[in-house]
Structure 1
Amino acid sequence: MQGTTILFSEMTPPAGREEEFHAWYDEEHVPLRVGVPGFVSARRYRDTGEGAKGFLAVYEMDAPDVLKSSAYGEVKGKPSALTKDMLANVSGFTRYIGQETAVRRRAEGNAPAALDAPLLYAVWFQVPEDRCADFDAWYEQDHVPLLMESPDWLMVRRFRITDGEPLPYNRLALHYLADRAALSSPAREKARATPWRGRLAAEPWFKGTYSVFEALRPRQKPAR
């Protein structure tokens, strides 16, 4: 169910068509994609930000080349009339491809439960190339271990963004949470107060983008 590459895609339904949007996404859009060889699974989420109306799908894949395959090209290049109409009318569109660079779970044997956590906390950064090594080391050696002191912090996966729009992010961390209380926990406060983080936070590029998503549907997997 968990791959080493993800496709992270957000959309906001056309006004007055949310029910139709969900039916299309659940019954056509996702099944066609997870049916492509190399797709492992997909899960949908709702953006919980104030006033947010968008929805997220995170597709798990074996490798980024899956998106260059003839099977995927067939799906993407021959959309149905409904797909054409829906994609022409959605807003808030994002699409990012990420290759996993690190993963840490609360317990190795608990990977499926962690992957299907009820909340997904996404953290994006655009890190200058000459600062990536320090940023990555801080996240792995300092930040993540302290976050994981919270029992509600089930898993952290980090990705290098290789392509995407609309913003030029190059780092993504997906935090899988059992409860929103993790975001106000002593563990998070501790993780955000270290000297290493303070040094990085003083640099002008250190401006993260943060979103919390609530799981909307059970994970979809290939029928094959």
Structure 2
Amino acid sequence: MAPTAFLLVFSEPGPNVPEDEYNDWYDNEHIPLRVNTPAFLNWTRWKAVDGEKPTYGASYDLESYEATKKAPYTTLAETRSDREKGILANIQLLDRRHYELIEPHPIPLRHSTTRRNLPHTSSLSPEEDFNKWYHEEHIPLLAKAPGWVRSRRFILKDCGQMGVEAQKDQKPPKYMAVHEWASMDSFKSPEYKAALATPWTEKVFANVVAKERRVMTFVRKWARL
């Protein structure tokens, strides 16, 4: 089944949740419960290499956005263990974002067994030109860079934060692009730099009103049991 939705979660354990306990909970309780939930199609954890916080990320391909609105997906929040309730009550930040896939880009992905890096960018500008730029120029140029694996674009459907530093009214930008790379060395290549330095790129980003960019490295993937 091809995924049509995406869940991205950023998290920061903070001083009230020991990092070892946080990682043990995520690896051995939180994600394993989702491995057997039909709405989820894959499960991956990431860690920041850009020096920014939150430190951790998790991404999940989902069968559809509609599947997040019904059981068994919705029962995950209703059946939390005491351990999970305690961690979520004390965690510094858990930032959850549901997205829906924008039409797949025609450039095929390059298969790689060493896929490690996930840059994440979100931005909003005049939409027609923004989307045309992404589809006709930006992704095709990125795809020429060594180490490029794939690029996918999404549109935000809903979001929410939990934790000591949660900001209830904070909303991410409308669009997100997830670019996957085999190595950090890709960012040093002439092709990658050229993709960021075109006149059209400058024009688009002159009108951007909100932007995020994260660079994370692969930690672990799970297979369905």
Contact 1:124 1:172 in 2 (8 A): yes
> For residue 221 of structure 1, what is the aligned residue in structure 2?
223
Distance 1:6 1:51, change over 3 A: closer
Distance 1:109 1:135, change over 3 A: closer
> For residue 130 of structure 2, what is the aligned residue in structure 1?
135
> 2:51 corresponds to which letter in structure 1?
E
> 2:80 corresponds to which letter in structure 1?
P
Distance 1:215 1:2 in 2: 22
> 2:23 corresponds to which letter in structure 1?
H
Distance 1:213 1:132 in 2: 27
Distance 1:89 1:44 in 2: 21
SS, match of residue 36 in structure 1 = coil
> For residue 96 of structure 2, what is the aligned residue in structure 1?
95
> 2:118 corresponds to which letter in structure 1?
L
Distance 1:180 1:60, change over 3 A: same
Deviation at 1:158, TM superposition (A): 0.6
> For residue 123 of structure 1, what is the aligned residue in structure 2?
121
Deviation at 1:65, TM superposition (A): 1.5
Structure number with the higher helix fraction is: 1
User: What's the Cα RMSD here?
Assistant: 2.2
Following superposition of structure 1 onto structure 2, how do residues 14-163 of structure 1 map, counting pairs within 5 Å?
Answer: 14-15=14-15, 17-50=18-51, 52=53, 54-104=55-105, 107-108=108-109, 110=111, 113=112, 117-125=115-123, 127=124, 131-163=126-158
Deviation at 1:107, TM superposition (A): 4.5
- Which 4+ runs in 1 deviate beyond 3 A? 102-109
> For residue 10 of structure 1, what is the aligned residue in structure 2?
10
**Which deviates more from structure 2 when the two are superposed, residues 163-172 or residues 137-146?**
163-172
Distance 1:93 1:197 in 2: 32
Contact 1:101 1:160 in 2 (8 A): yes
How many residues of Structure 1 are paired with residues of Structure 2 in the alignment?
215
Contact 2:109 2:150 in 1 (8 A): no
Uncovered stretches (5+) of structure 1, i.e. residues with no partner? none
Contact 2:110 2:148 in 1 (8 A): no
Deviation at 1:85, TM superposition (A): 0.5
Uncovered stretches (5+) of structure 2, i.e. residues with no partner? 161-169
Distance 1:149 1:109 in 2: 11
> For residue 188 of structure 1, what is the aligned residue in structure 2?
192
> 1:195 corresponds to which letter in structure 2?
P
Deviation at 1:57, TM superposition (A): 0.7
Distance 2:35 2:115 in 1: 20
Q: Does 1:211 align with 2:209?
A: no
Contact 1:3 1:60 in 2 (8 A): yes
Show CA shifts across 1:103-161 (max 9, x none): 44874572xx37x7111110111x25xx2121011011011111111121111011111
> 2:180 corresponds to which letter in structure 1?
Y
TM-score by length of 1: 0.87
